[in-house]
Amino acid sequence: MGNKSFGANAKPRLSSADHVRCTSACARTQKEREISRRIKCGGVLSAPSGNFCSPNFPGLYPYDTECTWLIVVAEGSSVLLTFSHFDLEYHDACGYDYLQVYNGVTRDRGNLLGTFCGRRPPPRAVSSGRELLVVFKSDFNIGGRGFKAYFYSGAAGECQEVYTAVKGNFSSPQYPNFYPNNLKCQWTIQLPPGYRIKVFFLDLDLEGRSSLTDGCDYDHLAAFDGGAENASLLGKWCGRERSSPIVSSGNKLLLVLRTDRNTAKRGFALAYVGGKAALLQKLPPFARANPGLRRASLLGRRARSHGGRQRRAAGTRRVSRGLLAS
């Protein structure tokens, strides 16, 4: 191993000063040396969750201080970061004391998620990869109480749940905190034959539509009128386009949340209820006689019920596709 890793060179007892020196001396790459050089306080945080704060918190932070925390979570996960306390000297452009959050290991301009000062806590941050870098800097005078931050590892990748109770509710991972990036989550509601399912949107806050395509290309929640994604699409939502309730035509309904590699929001919260006659009676009579029309009318009704021309247009497209598929 030689001097390739800090762990291999660690002496049995290390003071924090030793830690900084050794990390600097033994860092593997230029990138790591660059990070280590900046660690005067701060450090590398590699637990799945934890918290950290400015020096002396909740007392006043020292002047002329720069701290860097690098948070690294398991491969395939995202780092979620929230602030419970925040009090830094204020300046219009945060030119005196500031906290910066970077999406990744380097302090590249392109990685900067934000620069913060004053007393308004930074919004929750989510990394697109497994690393998040936090920099705290104070100048030569006037301080504050500093900050306290909590981080945790967001589950990434696949997640799947099946609900068989006649009613229930569920929400996106970490809700109401920001959902992780790179998600594909499925919630299947499966009730006894003869039942149908009505889903109510309690809250929806996803990354918004693409300005290029006007589609929900980044993050979206989709509902399918069956147990799999090849069933008819009941709706697809992003941004804050909370829908009126949707109703399945059969006893299964699938909800799928997909998120892309960056920009997360609060997510969604849903409630559902299963029923028989009551739900059926709400459909127009002709729909009951013709399953194909029933599907179309459900979709059409849903589309009409949404406010805004964009929503209506999107709903119309869904209807066409649904009919073609059926």
Question: What residues line the site for Ca ion (CB under 5 A)?
Answer: 89, 96-97, 139, 142, 207, 218-219, 259-260, 263
DSSP 8-state assignment for residue 180: P
Give φ, ψ of 198 to 5 degrees: -115, 130
State the minimum distance, in angstroms, from the CB of residue 261 to Ca ion.
Answer: 7
Smaller CB separation from Ca ion, 142 or 166: 142
State the minimum distance, in angstroms, from the CB of residue 206 to Ca ion.
Answer: 8
State the minimum distance, in angstroms, from the CB of residue 179 to Ca ion.
Answer: 8
State the minimum distance, in angstroms, from the CB of residue 180 to Ca ion.
Answer: 10
**Residue 144 · residue 224 · CB < 8 Å:** no
Smaller CB separation from Ca ion, 173 or 275: 173
Using alpha carbons, select from 14, 186, 157, 144 the residue that is nearest to residue 78: 157
Smaller CB separation from Ca ion, 146 or 322: 146
Smaller CB separation from Ca ion, 145 or 198: 145
Smaller CB separation from Ca ion, 183 or 319: 183
State the minimum distance, in angstroms, from the CB of residue 95 to Ca ion.
Answer: 10
Smaller CB separation from Ca ion, 263 or 305: 263
Using alpha carbons, select from 145, 129, 160, 325 the residue that is nearest to residue 257: 160
* Single-letter amino acid code for the residue at 232: S
Q: Angle at Cα 42 formed by Cα 41 and Cα 43, nearest 5°?
A: 120
Q: What element of type H or E holds 130?
A: none
Smaller CB separation from Ca ion, 139 or 203: 139
Please state, in angstroms and rounded to a whole number, the distance separating the CA atoms of residues 37 and 157: 34
Give the Å distances, CA to CA, from 79 to 47, 107, 151, 302.
Answer: 11, 16, 7, 36
**Residue 229 · residue 95 · CB < 8 Å:** no
What would you measure as the largest C-alpha separation in the chain, in angstroms?
79
State the minimum distance, in angstroms, from the CB of residue 96 to Ca ion.
Answer: 5
State the minimum distance, in angstroms, from the CB of residue 22 to Ca ion.
Answer: 31
Tokens at residue 319, please? 């209807």
